[in-house]
Every structure is written in structure tokens, then in C-alpha cells.
Structure 1
Amino acid sequence: MQKLKVALVQQSLRHDREANIAASEAAIRKAAAQGARLVVLQELHTGRYFCQTEDTDCFEMAESIPGPSTELFSALARELGVVLVTSLFERRAPGLYHNTAVVLESDGSIAGKYRKMHIPDDPAFYEKFYFTPGDLGFEPIHTSVGSLGVLVCWDQWYPEAARLMALAGAEVLIYPTAIGWDPRDTDAEMERQRDAWVTVQRAHAVANGIPVLSANRVGFEADPSGAGAGIQFWGTSFIAGPQGEFLARAGEQEEILIAELDRRRSEDVRRIWPFLRDRRIDAYGDLVKRYRD
């Protein structure tokens, strides 16, 4: 299968979990009707971004794998014959929770999961309170549409994560995401942040010679405590090819983004830009240090 049509669902989320799921399902159906074989949902797509505050009641939203979300979306994947990349708040054990992406095969089975490795702790993004760092490593998930290098949001800033996925055979990098602005920032600061977000992910495509799919949420979500200014999620989901070229870009509204990947291009690009060949693996030992003093 040289050509692969992929879709990203960029969605604004409400307090009503069932309404969010219904909207996701409708978008997945539309994407499948347009020929998408792989559909990617954004980070924590069944509800609002609860990490703006530290609230133990939020742990009630966590669920097991398999569980309600995987059962629902597995049935949908099987019905439509598509591979789905989903995201949920995983309850692994009492007091042990993860931010987890689950990949569902087109026959409805669970192809694999990835637990978010890099966990931020910034104003309005208090994820360390909720999520244990992932322990599954950087392993691609093998599916009928190829080997998927699934990472999650904050992971997208780390070239090491992208490289390790590529070295393990990932054919595409996928980033379910929830990122946005503090409304109090200046317009110039907002633009710098979004440009950096786009640039670093396009660089992962360039450095590894594989496509990148980044699905972000959109819309304003208030801080439920009232202490903060809330987050304006900037959307701007995109699909980039193996030279970082844009294949499709979304705006700042709800949208289904679709593009066709030419799987042969990664091989062709790596032949003219042989970055993997020229890596000095004998000289990179210090990468496992926190800092060189």
C-alpha cells in the first residue's frame, strides 16, 4: 500500500463527555467516508483539559484499558475498517494513572498503547499531579497501515523521542496534543510559541525522513478554579511530509484534516538526505547525561 489517506480530528471539547464522544464519532465517520484509513484524535479527547488545576476529584474520570473508551472506539474501528489513534486518562491501579494513547486496529482489536513519557508541570498544565511518566519506552505500534510512532503532546518537544521511534522502525510520527496560549500573553508571544511548536515537529520529520501528524484541540477552556486565565487552544493541526513540507494545515476552528501520504517518499528522501547513515553513534554517549558540567 504505497498511498495512505490519513485524517486528524481537530475538536473543541465540552463538559458533556457523551457529546464529545458523539462529535468524535461523527468526525471519524466523515473521515472514513472520504477514504481515510488512519484517523487520529487529539489528546484526552473525551473531556475538557482538567490539568489546569490540581483536583483529586478528577481522578474519577480515569478508566482502565480495556474499558469504556476502548470498547466504544474499537467497535467503531471495526465497523468502519479504519485504524484509530485514541487518547485517554488511564487508571492502571489505585493511585497509578497515565496519559495514554491507544491504537485500535481496523478489526477492533487493541494494536498497542503508548504512555506519555515527558510530563509537564507548568502554570495551567499541572500534569505531574495526575500522570505517572510512561514506562513502555519508545516503541512503534504495528498496524495494518504501517508502524506508528505514537507520542503525546509534551513529547513533541524532544528530538530524542522522535529519533528513537524512527530508529525502532516507525514509518510516521503521530502527536495527539492539547496545547494553547495563556490569553494574557501578547500577540507576539503567542505567535512565537505556535511557530516554535510547528517548527520543532517539522524538524522531526526532516531529521528522520518520515511524515509527522499533529492533532491539536481548539477553543477556549476556562480555569475551573477561577484562579487562572484559562487556555485558548490554538488548533493549527497539521500533516507534514518527510522533508517537513506541509501536506495539510488546519485553522483555529473545528476541522477534519485529510491528506494522502506517499509511503515511498520516505525511502526516496532518506536516499538523498542520509542522516541515519551519517550519525556518529560513537560520539553520542553524553546524551544520557542530564547536563555536561
Structure 2
Amino acid sequence: MERKKEDRSLLIYILLSVVTCGIYGLIFMWSFTNDLNDVSSAKDPDGWRSPNFIIVILLTIVTCGIYSWYWLYKVGNTIQRSGDDYGVRVDESGTTLIMWCLLLGVGVFISYHLIFKNMNKICRKYNEEFIDNAAYAQGGYGDSYGYDAGGYGNSGSSVQSGSSQKKISVAAQQESEETTQMAGWTIGMAHGALVCTKGSMQGAEINILDGEMVTIGRDGAASNLVLSDRDISRRHCTVQFNASENCYYVTDYSSLGTRMNGTVQLEREVPTRCSKGTRIILGQGSNEFILQ
């Protein structure tokens, strides 16, 4: 996956298109449609995908401009739907963009300003989830491990829950603590533990090393601890252990929320400091964890 552009500007788009006799505009919109397809399909593989922009131009010519209205309408709705998927507020739908275009003069420019602005927000979230998190995992996690009843094994191993098997992926270390003997002293790697007290993983204990981040969610592409319950968002929350402060930082990204000790609702997208022993409740309460 490649990082998506986050700084589209209508003014730059117009100026460089004029200077290059339209060549920059074609390249810009080609890239825009490709990014839109990648970002939207990452969360909704079955959703609408735009044709490449050359096809859009040809269909617009063939239909005497009608297809360009249809295309703008679909782009607006796709960006708004992707906003819901990524937890980003997008107020403008495809209908809103068409209404702006019906205004004489600057209406079309306002529509394109809105789709560039909203696309920048979606791409920023896409980069955080799929690019930055992947880079962090490669540099901080090392290999990924799966949890089962006997301990940690290879990624993709299954855990027994009654008569069913549930596949999960947990970024954690293979052993609960690594030690090094040095000049007669034992040096241990500081870690915390995320213990499930309610839900499909009840009884599981996942060790978290200093600085390590566990992402809990329903989407395996955006999370490394996967829960399939309906009240869990695709990327629900992250839990990071801080050994120097002997605490955790929990960040909520969900639509149904994350509560601390049953009553305190975490502020969305703001890391919240949680002491050891804090109880974390996800969504409507089907899954609970203790930070040990």
C-alpha cells in the first residue's frame, strides 16, 4: 500500500492546469480517482468504484455532459460513506454537490473544493490506519503472534471458545517475559497485560511490551486483536503500555464508544491515561478488559 495524498488544493489544481494547458488536471484527477477507489474499497470492498478518469471524460463527451453529473454524485456519496467507515465527519453528500453545481458561477468550484477537502480527511485517516500503523508494527512489534489456550504460537492460530474456533491476530511477544543474565544480574523486559474478563476472548491474557500498541477492532486489516461482535467497530480502540509511567494510554476510535471503569466515556481520538487495574468496556458491553 502507498501513502495517499492529503493536501489537495482547488487553487493549485486550477493554476497548474492552466499553466500546463490541462495536462496537470488530467494527471491530478487520474490520481484522485485511483486514491478514491483504494481508500473506499479498503473498508467496503463491495462499494462503488470510479472508472479511471480517461473513461470518465469519454463518457462525459458521449453523454453530452450528463455522465459528469452522475459521476460527481457517486463520488460525493462514496466519500461520505467512507467518512463513516473511517470515523470522519463528512457533511456533504452527492446530492449536496449536485445542488452546488446548479448554482451559476462558482457553484462547480465549490463542489470540487468540497470533494478535495473531504478526500484529504479520508486519506489522512487511511494513511494513519494502513500506512503508519503498518510501519509501526514492522519497527516495533517484530513478528505477529496468535493466542491460543496454551500460550502464544504462530500468527493465525485459533482459540477454542466452547465448541467454536475463532481466529484472532494479536501483536504480542512469544514469551511472557524475556530475561538476560548480565554480570550476575537478571534484567527483565517491562511489560503490562491486557486481560479479557468478558466476551469471546474471556480468560485470555495478552502481554504488552513497553511502547507496544494493540489495536482492537472488527477489521483484521486495521486491527491486530480481532473481535467479531456487532458492537465492535472496524478499528475500535488502541491500548499502549508505558513502562516509565507504569500506566496505559487508551484511544477510542469507535462509533459506539469505549468506557473506563464502566462510567467514564473516553473522548474520541484522544489518548486517555489509564492506571493499572482500569477496566475497559467496549461498545455496548459485550467485551471487557482489565489493564494489568
Shorter-chain TM-score above 0.5: no
Structure index of larger Rg: 2
Q: Which has the higher contact order (CA 8 A, sep 6+)?
A: 1
TM-score (norm: length of structure 1): 0.24
